[in-house]
Amino acid sequence: MNYEQAQIRADIIKALAHPVRLMIVQELKDKDMNFADINQVFEYDKSTISKHLTVLKNAGIVSSKKIGADVIYHIEMCCVNKFIDCIDSVLKQNIEKQQSCLM
Amino acid sequence: MNYEQAQIRADIIKALAHPVRLMIVQELKDKDMNFADINQVFEYDKSTISKHLTVLKNAGIVSSKKIGADVIYHIEMCCVNKFIDCIDSVLKQNIEKQQSCLM
DNA sequence: TGCAGTGTTGGCTAATTTGCCAACAAACAT
DNA sequence: ATGTTTGTTGGCAAATTAGCCAACACTGCA
C-alpha cells in the first residue's frame, strides 16, 4: 500500500471517525431513515447533521434519495457490522489491559 | 450506542484515519518492527513518525517494548485484515459506481 | 399565488490536527 | 567522562474540522 492508496482509504475511515457519524451509521444499519428521523436522534442544529450526512455520502458509506419533500438515507457499506465488531474487539482488549494493570 | 460509547469507538477509528498511520499498521501486520525500520519507510521527520506511533499506541492498536537502544513496535489489533478488507469493499463499490456513471 | 415545512449551503469562529525544528533523555561506544 | 546514536517531548505555524446562524431552494398545502 503506497501513500496515495493509503490516503484514499484514510478518507473513508475518517468519515467514520466521528461519534455523530458513527451513531448515524449505527441507526441506518438495519433500516433506511429520512432526514427528520436521523436529525431527531441528536440535539445539534439540523445543518450540522446535514453536513455529517454529506461527509458519509461523499465517502460512499451512505446514499440518499429525495422522495417528495423529504430525503431518505440508506447505508451502502455492507460490512458495517464487521467494522463495528472489529473496533469493539480493540476496545474490549484495551479495557482488559486496564483491568489487569490495576491488580 | 449512546454518544459516549460512540466517542470512545470514534477515537479508535480516528487513530486509523491517517495515511501514515494506516501504512504503519499495514507494515506491522505481519511482523514486529523497530522504530528505525518504520521511520525508514517514510520521508517525514522522525518526530512526526514517533507522534503517529504514539497515537496508535494510545488507541491500543499497537504496543511498544524498549529493547536496549531501540524500540520494537507490535500490532495489537488482531482484526486489521478484516478492517482493511472492509474499507476496500467500500472503495471498490465507489469505483464501480463511478464507472457506471460514465456510461 | 403565497405560506409553511424540509433540508442544503455559505460564512464565521473555535478547536483540533499535522508536521517541522530544537531540545532533551537514555543507551551505547570510545 | 565524553561523544554518538536512538527515540521522545515541547512548542510553534499552517491546515483542517466542527458547530452555529442565517439565507436559500424546493415541495406541498391553503
Quote the strand ranges of A35-82, DSSP E. Answer: 62-67, 70-75
3-state secondary structure B14-81: HHHCCHHHHHHHHHHCCCCEEHHHHHHHCCCCHHHHHHHHHHHHHCCCEEEEEECCEEEEEECCCCHH
> What are the C-alpha distances in Å from A61 to residues A74, A94, A101, B69?
9, 27, 38, 44
B20, closest nucleotide (Cα–C1'): C18
Instruction: Record the cell numbers describing residue A6, joined without a space.
Output: 493509503
> Contact at 8 Å (CB) between A79 and B86?
yes
Give residue numbers, 12 to 41 of B, with CB < 7 Å from strand D.
34-36, 39
Q: How confident is the model at residue B102 (pLDDT cuts 50, 70, 90)?
A: low
Mean pLDDT, chain A, integer = 96
Residue at grid coordinates 465507489: B94
Q: What is the pLDDT of residue A81?
A: 97
Residues A35-69: pLDDT tens digits? 999 999 999 999 999 999 999 999 999 999 999 99
Instruction: Record the cell numbers describing residue A89, joined without a space.
Output: 474487539
> Residue B60's closest CA among A15, A103, A96?
A96
Q: What is the pLDDT of residue A14?
A: 98
- In this structure, the number of other CB atoms found within 10 A of the CB of residue A36 comes to 11
Given a cut of 80, whether residue B103 has pLDDT beyond it is no
Average pLDDT score over residue span B60-76: 96
Given a cut of 90, whether residue B100 has pLDDT beyond it is no
Q: How confident is the model at residue A2 (pLDDT cuts 50, 70, 90)?
A: very high
Say whether B77 sits in a helix, a strand or coil: coil
Task: Flag if B6 and A19 touch (Cβ within 8 Å).
Answer: yes
Say whether A33 sits in a helix, a strand or coil: strand
Q: Tell me the residues of B at the A interface, defined by beta carbons under 8 Å apart.
A: 1, 3, 6-10, 12-14, 16-23, 26, 59-61, 76-79, 82-91, 93-94, 97
Using a 7 Å cut-off to protein CB atoms, list the covered nucleotides of chain C. Answer: 5-11, 17-23, 26-28
User: What phi and psi, each to the nearest 5 degrees, are found at residue B100?
Assistant: -65, -25
Q: How far apart are CA A20 and CA A42, in angstroms?
A: 8
Q: How many CB pairs under 8 A join A and B?
A: 114
Q: What is the pLDDT of residue A52?
A: 98
> Contact at 8 Å (CB) between A90 and B12?
yes
Q: How confident is the model at residue A15 (pLDDT cuts 50, 70, 90)?
A: very high
Given a cut of 90, whether residue A103 has pLDDT beyond it is no
Q: What is the pLDDT of residue A102?
A: 67
Q: Is the CB of A26 under 7 A from strand C?
A: no
Given a cut of 90, whether residue B84 has pLDDT beyond it is yes
Using a 7 Å cut-off to protein CB atoms, list the covered nucleotides of chain D. Answer: 5-11, 17-23, 26-28
Average pLDDT score over residue span B16-27: 98
> Residue B82's closest CA among A90, A1, A16, A83?
A83
Q: Is the CB of A7 under 7 A from strand D?
A: no
Strand partners, B79: none
Average pLDDT score over residue span A6-20: 98
Given a cut of 80, whether residue A101 has pLDDT beyond it is no
Longest dimension (CA), chain A: 60
